[in-house]
Amino acid sequence: MRKLLYRLSLCCVALAPAWAAAQEFTTLKGHGGPIMGVTVNDATGQVASASFDNSVGLWQGRLPLWLEGHDAAVNTVLFLGADRLASAGDDFTVILWDRAAGGSTHLTGHKGKIVDLAQSPDGAWLASASWDGTIGLWPLFGDAAETARFLSGHEAGVNAVAFSADGARLYSASADGTIRIWDMTNDGSRILTDQGFGVNRIVSGPEDAWLAYGAVDGVTRVIDTQTGDQLADFSLDRRPILALAHHPETHRLAVGDGHGYIMIIDTDQWRILRDFRAMRRGPVWALDFSANGRNILAGGIEDIVYSWPIALLDEFDPAGGEQRSFLRDPEDMPNGERQFMRKCSICHALTPPPSRKAGPSLYGLFGRKAGSVPGYPYSEILTGSDIVWSDDTIDALFDIGPDHYIPGSRMPMQRITAPGDRQDLIAYLRRATAPQKEN
């Protein structure tokens, strides 16, 4: 019945009024890795996405325009107006994208990955949350790189930031379990609440009437922004909380968790409206509402941004019904393929280049000089390397780990300690990456 309703809803879109078209279930496809962030321009309705594939997708309807400039996974993206965006990621860098002028500005200064961004209500400041334990404050008028300042006080990485309604204060959430309030005039701060477990996300309500937060232990709470007193608790037996989004006009708060659920909360009456299994496998890492509030957009371990009509959430099965190779049950795979799926598949394709994944294609790997796939932006350490990929070099790479075998490369630290597992991986790669003979 659900599938029939779904087909009928799509067939009727062309005949429906404009408002109904906004309630269509849609997918935005093109990224080469998991979706880490999604944001909607409230003025234009345009969608931007941040991905593990090092790219920002700026969607023209369902067609992507790629913004390339990051050297590692992009964790967050934020519209700064009709023609400007900001993005940040694992390369410790914030990039300001000026679509009108066609240029970009790289802002550096953090010493750890950046996982969240927020713009002040007057548009003058951009705040960045970093795992180096600091908050960056970048002026958006003038030379941001020269006049940035950094706020210190948390005892662990900072996961989220949000400005107060008047822009005079900044809220920050940290892996140290606290939420702090910062005074923008003197950079002083105080602890608003100490959750005990790391706080991943925060959202500030209209006129600072409340602050919602989601934590590592699954806690989802709403507190008073002055006293920290609890106003509501929506904690369920699902953890961690990884995404929050708020739509003030419709009085809705969305919560995404590690079990793949999206909970929709009515912030007028503080009650749960929907509790939807959005992802068949994997967490919900990214959330935002459509400009009119009728749809919820989400992303996770798949390379797709999904958009569901909130009013019809009960009619949809979880996303990911089509079996994706990296979501298959590992027990159904031969060991060599299982090692590849666990260690390599998120970053590397097995098909001929070009590839939208974060790493270069492994097609034709054996006998290839490291750092030699045309068009891929390798680090200097790899382009100047004399390594040739073979059974022995691949074995050594995973035996001691990339950071020891090729110090200074961007390859993530990972090892395969069992010799038999490494040999099974190498045998699988020999078969899977061999160039195909033309008929």
Write out the DSSP string of 104-166.
EEEE---SS-EEEEEE-TTS-EEEEEETTSEEEEEESSS-HHHH-EEEE--SS-EEEEEE-TT
Q: Is residue 319 part of a domain?
A: no
What percent of the chain is predicted at pLDDT more than 90? Answer: 73
Q: Is residue 3 part of a domain?
A: no
Q: What domain range is 374 assigned to?
A: 325-433
> How many domains in the chain?
2
* Segment among 182-186, 190-194, 217-221, 407-411 with least mean pLDDT: 407-411
Q: Do both 199 and 121 map to the same domain?
A: yes
pLDDT at 325 over 90: no
Tell me if 93 sits within 8 A of 70, measured CB to CB: yes
Q: Is residue 122 part of a domain?
A: yes
* Cα 355 to Cα 223: distance, rounded to the nearest angstrom: 45
Predicted confidence (pLDDT) per residue in 170-183, tens digit: 999 999 999 999 99
Tokens of 52: 């593990």
Residues 6+ apart with CB under 8 A from 17: none
Distance of alpha carbon 354 from its chain centroid, rounded?
A: 23
Q: Is residue 6 part of a domain?
A: no
**What is the predicted pLDDT for the residue at 118?**
98
**What is the predicted pLDDT for the residue at 328?**
59
- 115: nearest Cα among 285, 346, 343: 285
Residue of higher predicted confidence among 2 and 198:
198
β-sheet with 125-130: strand ranges across: 114-119, 125-130, 134-139, 149-152
Query: Model pTM?
Result: 0.83
Q: Do both 301 and 334 map to the same domain?
A: no
Which of helix, strand or coil describes residue 75? strand
**What is the predicted pLDDT for the residue at 105?**
95
What percent of the chain is predicted at pLDDT more than 70? Answer: 91
- What rounded mean pLDDT belongs to the chain? 89
Predicted confidence (pLDDT) per residue in 409-433, tens digit: 777 778 899 999 999 999 999 999 9
Q: Is residue 135 part of a domain?
A: yes
Domain boundary at 279, 309, 339, which? Answer: 309
pLDDT at 3 over 50: no
Q: Do both 334 and 186 map to the same domain?
A: no
Q: Is residue 226 part of a domain?
A: yes
Predicted confidence (pLDDT) per residue in 256-278, tens digit: 999 999 999 999 999 999 999 99
Which of helix, strand or coil describes residue 400? helix
pLDDT at 335 over 50: yes
Predicted confidence (pLDDT) per residue in 367-381, tens digit: 999 999 998 888 888
**What is the predicted pLDDT for the residue at 416?**
92
DSSP H helical ranges for 287-351? 335-343
- Helix axis angle, 391-400 relative to 419-432, nearest 10°? 130
The model's confidence at residue 73, banded by pLDDT at 50, 70 and 90, is very high
Burial class (CB in 10 A: 0-12, 13-18, 19+), 163: buried
Tokens of 331: 């027990």
Q: 264: part of which helix (H) or strand (E)?
A: strand 261-266
Q: Do both 292 and 334 map to the same domain?
A: no
Predicted confidence (pLDDT) per residue in 301-313, tens digit: 999 999 999 999 9
To 10 degrees, the CA torsion angle through 377, 383, 385, 386?
A: 120
**What is the predicted pLDDT for the residue at 144?**
67
Distance of alpha carbon 150 from its chain centroid, rounded?
A: 23
Domain containing 368 — which CATH number? 1.10.760.10
Work out the widest C-alpha separation in the chain, in whole angstroms: 73
- Helix axis angle, 335-343 relative to 419-432, nearest 10°? 90
Q: Do both 161 and 85 map to the same domain?
A: yes
Domain boundary at 274, 309, 344, which? Answer: 309
**What is the predicted pLDDT for the residue at 11?**
34
pLDDT at 21 over 60: no
